Structure 1
Amino acid sequence: MESISTSCLMDIFNLLKACCSQSCNYIMTYEGTFSSLVSEVGQLKDKSSDVRRDIEAAKRDGLTPRSEVLGWLSSVQHMEDEAKSIEGKYNQKIKCLCSFPLNVCSIYPLRNRAEATLATIRELKQSAEFTKLADNQNLIHSIKMPIPKTIGMDKVFEELRRHAKDESLSVIGIHGMGGVGKTALLRRLNNDFLSETSEAEVDVVIFLELSIDYKMEELQRSLFNRLGLTWQDEVTHRDRAAKLYRVLSKLNFILLLDNLWEPLNYQVVGIPLPEPPSKCKIIFTTRTEDTCSYMGTEKMIKVECLEEEAAWNLFRNSARMDVIDTNVIILIMARALVKECGGLPAALIILAQAMAPKKDFGRVDACLDHHEGHTTPTSCKHNLRNLWQGEGIINNVQNLMDADNKTQFLLGILHAASLTVRVHDDYFTMHPMTRAMILWVERECGKKENKWLVLDRELVEEAPVAEKWQAAERISLGGNKISDLPKAPQCPDLIFLDLQFNKLLNTIPNGFFLHMPHLKILDLRETPIEELPVSIGNLVQLHFLELSRTRITSLPKEMAALVNLRYLTLSSTTSLRIIPDQLISSLRELQWLNMVDSYSGWREGHTLEGGATFEELESLKRLKVIGITVNTLAALQNLYFQLHAMSELEEVVIGNLQPILLPLQELRLSSLPKAKLVCRARFPNTLLALKIEDCRAIDRLIKLEGQGNSSRERVIRIFPHLHTMVIRRLPELKSLSDGEQTLNFPSLKTIAVEDCPKLTMLTLVADGLKEIMCERSWWDQLNWGDERTKSFQHLYKPMYIDGNFIPSM
């Protein structure tokens, strides 16, 4: 019995020992739990302070804290209070005796409470990563916009829609001419976001239509209103920009800007530029391609006019006229009208709406008459260059190339603004609706219809009455059937008069030019007039006079009063026989004189017979381009010896030669610093030698124009009997061919080259070439990697021996 009792006591002791040990351990580790609670509460307080600070900033921006954030802050406050309570009770129960409590049993529930609080605090810390702290309760996700019809534009819209949903693209530009449908596309996209995009993906879709001359404050106010922010007049635009930036930076936004005329500075407005990948987008419409580039566009979409059938469908859908289907004549007329609109949606819709109320043929016919337009003919860059110089739009140019460059620059601006359409290289056209808009604007929005009196190519038979001429600044009556003009119209403001291609205009009244004191441009080309009235001498401000292909037999001596004339064109005036003595030299401002295939009675020195002399040409110090016709070898020789004085001459043109000149065997250009050689139409077949010296502007041997200048022809056969070519002191010469076309000289035997440092390749075909005379230093620097140049590698011959030039001709 005694051993049993001892054994039982030991078991009970061990059991109590185990229980006490667990309790003691639990009690002894309470301090660690309490320390963790203090640490976690501190971290939670720091996080809640950050959240509260961000919320206060959001409130200043007019935003409202989200409910989940406010709930989180409330839970944090509750846990802070709970931890503080636990800390107080702990301090009451614990006595400082190795941190062991006097009341062991009471510590269990306090520790359990602390551990539960600690677990909750850790959960709050983990849930503190909010995607959004605050938002605008007044913020409307998107606003539905009315949409014009977009028939025929589904393909370009799907392209736009695809790019708009591509998160790798942030800025998209839509460009095209006015009225082509850019606004309709952007509004359709706005509504597409309304139906397709949830608020979880995009917070707000903002559509803003800008005025042409919008102000920064106007744009900022629109954004404030759309975002539901309070506008304060006393706040600076920089502070408003900062506020917009803070608000938009917190949103997934789509910003649609319609009718942007010039680049927008995002930073100045307060618009954050999205960085891909991003759901944020800036999408805008503009007429100019340059605006797209300056705006940092990652994708440009050009909107073109509609194809003919799509245009017809849009017209029918907009007009909804039963009479179209029941009246064949009206159907034909409507089809013609649609074609005249050139596929421009705005024009089609407007005209369709104008026709919609018409119920019978007469009314529809009248409507058609009111809106009838016409296709603008194709224009050439060179014609515009001359006209713009005549008007002073292009001014103070140093040479013809400078004028060409400025013309190209201005045309580039028009093209980038979608105001013109390039047809081919130097040719372009303008949409008839664009042309009509320009005329309307220039007529002060229709208030002064006669300010620009434009009736060109409308086949009218009578010129406008004299009263209509009085208010005109520009009159264009070309391409009509006009036979009579007003006797002496009063035109105090007229600066431009175009009468070209009136095939029935035989005479101009004597007093016609009496009252046009400011006229600068006069175009009479391809009219059958036989003489100019003496009143032309009144046009002292005239800059540009075009008389090509007229039947004029003589120039009146009164033309000597045209002291400001810069451009005189008399090409193909084959009837011209008389030019008064000293008339040409009186035109001291003349820069351009084109008399190719025209007057050929040039004389040397003063004679009893009178008439124009070569010496008069020498007095034209501003002359840059000259084209004249000679019909004797003696005259050609005389022309050659005065050419040396023409330091401003820019082109020497070889055109159709008179039969007597066809035996021409040698052509030499010398000491013409700005001149270039141009071959036009038929080349002289008998030319044996070509010498070009001291012509600093020549960059290619010959510029080809006209016949034989097809872009498809890579090799052009020229001067079939030429055997000698000398080119000396041509510092800008780069090629012996013309652009991508290679010149073939089938009989060429000798080439002499001296001081042509930029000529590094011999790009020509000359199968009979025997020698290339040149300096060794130039020969060694040629590009022998070029195949054509390499084929001449064995033809070197020194140009100088013992310092003496060795000609081979």
Structure 2
Amino acid sequence: MQAEVRLLDLVGAMEDLKAMRNSVLREIELQEGKGKQRTQKVQAWLDKVVVMDQCTNQLVIDFSRCCVTGFCSLNIYSRLNASRKATKLKKEIDELMKEKNHLSVLAKRRPSNPVIDMPMSTTNVGIMIGSNLRIVCDCLADKTFGMIGIYGMGGIGKTTLMKEIERSIDDWNMGFDYVIYVRASYEHHVEDLRDCIAEQLSLCEPIETIFKFLKYKNFLLLLDDLWEELDITVLGIPDPHDNSVITTLYKHKVVFTTRSKQVCDSMRADKKIKLECLDKDEGWQLFKENLAMNLEGIPSLEEVAKEVANLCGGLPLALIMVGRAMPNQTWVAKWNLMLDQLQGRLFSSLCDSMLLYLRSSYDSLAHETLQQCFLCFCLWPKRKLILIEDLIKCWLGFGLIYYFDSISEAYMHGCYIIKVLEEASLVITHDNRTVVEVHEVIHDMAQWIASRAEGDHKAWFVKQNIIFEQLSSEEMETWIQLERVSIINCDMNSLPELQRQCPNLLSLSIQHNQRLENLPKIFLRQMPNLTYLNLSSTGIDELPTEITHLFNLEFLDISHTRIKSLPHELGNLKKLKCLLCGYLFLGKLQAGLLSNLCNLQVLDLYPYGCVEPKELETLRGFKSIGMCASSNEILRQLSDSPIVNINIQEIEGLQTLQFSSLTSEGHGWPKEFQIRSCTTIQNLVITHGTKISLKFLRLFDLPKLGSFIWRIEPKEVLPVLQLVQIEECHSLTSLHWVLHLPLLRALFLKNCDAMEELVNGEVGEIEEEDDVITTFPKLKYLTILGLPKLVKISHCALDFPHLSEVHLEGCPSLKRLPFKPGIVNNRGLLVKCEKKWWEKLEWDDAIVPSQFCSNSTEDEEIANFFGIFPIHVFFHFSFSFGFVCAANESIFLSFVCSWWCSSTWS
């Protein structure tokens, strides 16, 4: 019993240490938000805590395995050894807790960087700048706006706008007695700023004199390039938020610029103005102004010049600098050289100086881990929207997110990192924060930094949109030196022949290459130190046994490939921590495979892969599981596991399923939930009292499912649900609960024979209570197929503020559509249906049907496509690859059609 007692003491001490670590991390994050960085001593202490946690977990796992195998009472030596290790680790934990008490300084200010003055446009400032000027003018005239914040990425034109405000203020006749312009820069000093203000006011007295002087004056302070929160009262500036009588008598206004939206929030800006990049026409106009030459008489030159301007991505800084670098240049070869420079094939002093200025946003990131997370963006091609989940998986694989107890916690940490990068104006999120993109010039900066960086990320390489089969001797030398290689969206059917080892290679991503069907046997042997391998969404149908040569591999992603079995040799990868096999037809894994992967923490076999019940014990120490549950025994064993994705399939005798049984405290909820071919299920009960992270809900072939039993408001418990797909549920009569789901984007119903009304009469009661409630607030795609008894979708008209596509077929009893007048507004709404059925519809307002897109032959062909396409594959690929989320959704259906026709399936 002594060994058990010491283990319990060890685990308790470790929990106390982790609580102390979390407290330190919270304090550090607070300080980093203020522009400071953690000290080396603190980071070293945090790293020791991570190592100690791993050692403790491993000791507990080893001891439990010893007990499970029946030798707990016989193997005295093992028990004694475990007891000694527990005692030693407990002492080390006590030392770490004492060491924490001596860490007096948790964060220090980052060293200052030189201020680089960049050129500005002195001519036409453009339509966009002009519109922002009008916004600022209106805000200055409004008494309710005292503090105005202007934010945007480096080089977007914030300083230009501030100069225009200063120049235009006299023309606006605002009645300001004093207009003060101060540039803060990155590492500003309060004393210097105060001296600058005093000099402009012709004062040479301390802060109290500045305050007394301005208190009874109408003044405007223009504070440019602010990097962190600044209390303006320490500069002697009266606070515009002061509600005293004096403030009502005098105009006290402050306008400041910053790269971070967070600074706008912390400064309590009454109005926040975000500066966007210029469109093509404005960008071309600004480019020509700085070019100082007429291109109209030289068509060939104008064409390549426009291409050069387009590569600047509408960023004013890039347009001005590139334009001024080519004054009166009529030599086409010189323009082509500039084109190469901007396309990233060459670097020049011009590019270096521009990127050096932009780099200050990167340097301002409070910790090196954030910087490395940002550099990962250069592993994706330019102009590509990146799914946030793919990005977080990459960070996990690289070890940039390392302290987490569950995958939900890791995902939240990843979202926090993206928020920090967005507030630093380095990235842009879209579509309810599901996808992220990087401006082309910022992407160039990331590649520029990575190509010159030292340490763990000193060498990067990206290939795209090319045929890449063999390497030249020069390229081979490049591979030998690289640490990270990314080959994405290439038209390639084979990998390069590597005749020499690449000992430096740590990360290899070969994604979205459907023509690539196999890996050369010698290929994997040439990268012995590889830790990260991503082969997702390729045409590979077999994982070669040579993968055993990757002794250091920690992350393997083979999702969305044609692989049907995992080689037994995979069990030799003792360091493997993450194995992703999503949407592979694997069936049951080989016996003993998981038990050999002793360090595995993340396993995704969803939706078709599963394991034997007796092997589920090996998953107890996991942080994330996705798989198929095909028996009550498996479902029961998974009830206390960190399930991320689950497919409950062909379980007999299960009549009522409670969602709360699929999660436990600390693990969170699944993100994808599917039930298929469970013929006895009658009720789904939702009793959970907290918000859950379920995104996709799919129900197939549940003939007795009659109702959803809600013990809590659906929109409260399912705040992020995006897809509901229900097929062959013949007893289901209504889906009223989908009405107000805040993020529901796609609703698909097929062959639900008993359903007569999609949204029952309760909607009327809701509207009587509050007539401003929006129905289907985010729904874009509504598909209803084969509901013969469906009489109406709703008894009253509903809001569909974002609806863009409706597909109705096989609903002969449906005579009316619940669309309010003005449903289309300025959007195009496509309705796919049978022409004869459409002509027989009844309308309360004859104007409504004329607003919809007409049913052309092409539309009917696309509609017919849905009838033969496996809809679970359709929705999975649309959401997984981000096409439903993409900004350009018009290409979505045509892509899926072409993809389906070109793919081969068993």
TM-score w.r.t. length of structure 1: 0.60
Partner of 2:64: none
The residue type equivalent to 1:626 in the other structure is I
Q: Which residue of 2 aligns with 1:550?
A: 561
1:226 shift after superposition: 3.9
What is the CA distance between 1:185 and its match in structure 2? Answer: 0.6
Tell me which residue corresponds to 1:594. 604
Q: Which residue of 1 aligns with 2:410?
A: 403
Distance 2:310 2:385 in 1: 17
Equivalence for 1:390: 397
SS of the counterpart of 1:477? strand
Asked if the contact 2:697/2:725 (under 8 Å) is kept, the reply is: no
For residue 426 of structure 2, what is the aligned residue in structure 1?
A: 419
Instruction: For 1:595 and 1:438, locate their aligned partners in 2 and report how far apart those are by CA, in whole Å.
Output: 34
Quick check: 183-192 or 213-222, which moved more?
213-222
The share of aligned pairs that are identical, in percent, is: 25
Q: Which residue of 2 aligns with 1:560?
A: 571
Whether the 8 Å contact between 2:304 and 2:335 is mirrored in structure 1 is no
The CA distance in 2 between the partners of 1:750 and 1:204, in whole Å, is: 67
Are 2:126 and 1:151 equivalent residues in the alignment? Answer: yes
Q: Is the 8 A contact 2:696 2:723 kept in 1?
A: no
Cα shift at 1:284: 0.8
Q: 1:638-657 counterparts in 2 under 5 A?
A: 640-641=633-634, 643-644=636-637, 647-654=640-647
Are the structure 2 counterparts of residues 183 and 748 from structure 1 closer, same or farther at C-alpha, using a change threshold of 3 Å?
same
In the other structure, the counterpart of 1:689 is 681
Partner of 1:172: 148
Q: 1:657-736 maps to which residues of 2 (within 5 A)?
A: 668=657, 670=661, 672-673=663-664, 674=667, 676=669, 684=676, 687-690=679-682, 703=694, 705=696, 721-723=703-705
Distance across 2 between alignment mates of 1:180 and 1:226 = 27
TM superposition shift of 1:521: 3.0
Q: 1:187 aligns with which of 156, 163, 168?
A: 163
Q: Which segment drifts farther, 486-495 or 265-274?
A: 486-495
Partner residue of 1:747? 731
Match of 1:209 in 2: 183
Per the alignment, residue 570 of structure 1 pairs with 581
Q: What CA distance in whole angstroms lies between the structure 1 residues aligned with 2:688 and 2:502?
A: 46
Deviation of residue 355 (structure 1)?
3.9
Residues in 2 aligned to 1:427 and 1:336: alpha-carbon distance in whole angstroms: 27
Match of 2:485 in 1: 475
The offset of 1:362, in angstroms, is 2.4
Change (3 A) 1:440 1:586: same
Q: Secondary structure at the match of 1:510?
A: helix
Deviation at 1:367, TM superposition (A): 1.4
Deviations 1:11-38 (A, max 9, x none): xxxxxxxxxxxxxxxxxxxxxxxxxxxx
Q: Give the 5 Å matches for 1:288-299.
A: 288-299=260-271
Q: Is 1:510 aligned to residue 522 of structure 2?
A: yes
The answer to whether residue 360 in structure 2 is matched with residue 376 in structure 1 is: no
1:468-503 C-alpha deviation (Å, 9 max, x unpaired): 345544332322345434637666665533222345
Distance in 2, matches of 1:273 and 1:178, equals 28
Alignment check: 8 A CA contact 1:354 1:367 kept: no
Q: 1:724 to 1:254 in 2, by over 3 A?
A: closer
Name the amino acid aligned to 1:214. Answer: H
By how many angstroms is 1:294 displaced?
A: 1.4
Alpha-carbon displacement from aligned partner over 1:694-749 (angstroms, at most 9, x marks no partner): 9968867x946278xxxxxxxxx976622466979999997699869999976259
The normalised TM-score by structure 2 is: 0.54
Measured at CA, do residues 726 and 379 of structure 1 come closer, stay the same or move farther in structure 2, by a change above 3 Å?
A: closer
Q: Which residue of 2 aligns with 1:222?
A: 196
Counterpart pick for 2:533 among 513, 522, 529: 522
Q: CA deviation at 1:264?
A: 1.0
Sort the Cα spacing of 1:651 and 1:166 in 2 relative to 1 into closer, same or farther, 3 A: closer
Deviations 1:16-68 (A, max 9, x none): xxxxxxxxxxxxxxxxxxxxxxxxxxxxxxxxxxxxxxxxxxxxxxxxxxxxx
Q: Matched residues in 1 for 2:702 and 2:527: separation?
A: 55
State the shift of 1:182 in Å: 1.2
Q: What's the counterpart of residue 267 of structure 1? A: 233
Aligned counterparts of 2:703 and 2:274: Cα–Cα separation in 1: 52
1:457 maps to 2:431: no
What's the secondary structure of 2:220's corresponding residue? strand
Kindly indicate whether the alpha-carbon contact (under 8 Å) linking 1:526 and 1:550 is maintained by their aligned counterparts in 2: yes
- Equivalent in 281, 294, 304 of residue 276 of structure 2: 304
Q: Could you say if the C-alpha distance between residues 643 and 486 of structure 1 is closer, same or farther in structure 2, counting changes exceeding 3 Å?
A: farther
* Structure 1 CA distance for aligned equivalents of residues 652 and 643 of structure 2: 26
Q: Does 1:257 align with 2:223?
A: yes
Aligned twin of 1:615: 614
Aligned in 2, Cα 1:731/1:450: closer, same or farther, shift over 3 Å? closer
Change (3 A) 1:205 1:735: closer
Contact 2:238 2:252 in 1 (8 A): no
Q: Which residue of 2 aligns with 1:802?
A: none
Q: Kindly provide the CA deviation profile for residues 581-619 of structure 1, in whole angstroms up to 9, marking residues without a partner as x.
A: 42222223434322246667x6xxxxxxxxxx4433330
Give the Cα–Cα distance (whole angstroms) in 2 for the partners of residues 652 and 687 of structure 1. Answer: 21
Write out aligned runs for 1:83-98 (5 A): none
Contact map agreement 2:214 2:237 (CA 8 A) in 1: yes
Q: Which residue among 256, 260, 277 is the counterpart of 1:284?
A: 256
Q: 2-side partners of 1:516 and 1:694: how far apart?
A: 49
What is the alpha-carbon distance in structure 1 between the residues aligned to residue 588 and residue 326 of structure 2?
58
Amino acid at match of 2:319: L
- For the 8 Å contact 2:528–2:552, the answer to whether it is kept is no
In 2, Cα distance between equivalents of 1:194 and 1:664: 81
Name the amino acid aligned to 2:403.
Answer: N
How much does 1:371 deviate? 0.5
Asked if residue 364 in structure 1 is aligned to residue 332 in structure 2, the reply is no
1:369 maps to amino acid = D
The RMSD of aligned alpha carbons is 4.8
CA 1:219 to 1:558, structure 2 compared with 1: closer, same or farther past 3 Å? farther
User: In structure 2, what residue type is equivalent to 1:164?
Assistant: L
Unaligned runs of 5+ in 2: 1-119, 345-380, 736-748, 756-761, 770-906
Please say if residues 667 and 687 of structure 1, whose CA atoms lie closer than 8 Å, have aligned partners that are also in contact.
no
What letter corresponds to residue 647 of structure 2 in structure 1?
Answer: I
Q: Alpha carbons of 1:366 and 1:767: their partners in 2 closer, same or farther (altered >3 Å)?
A: closer
CA distance in 1, matches of 2:342, 2:456: 15
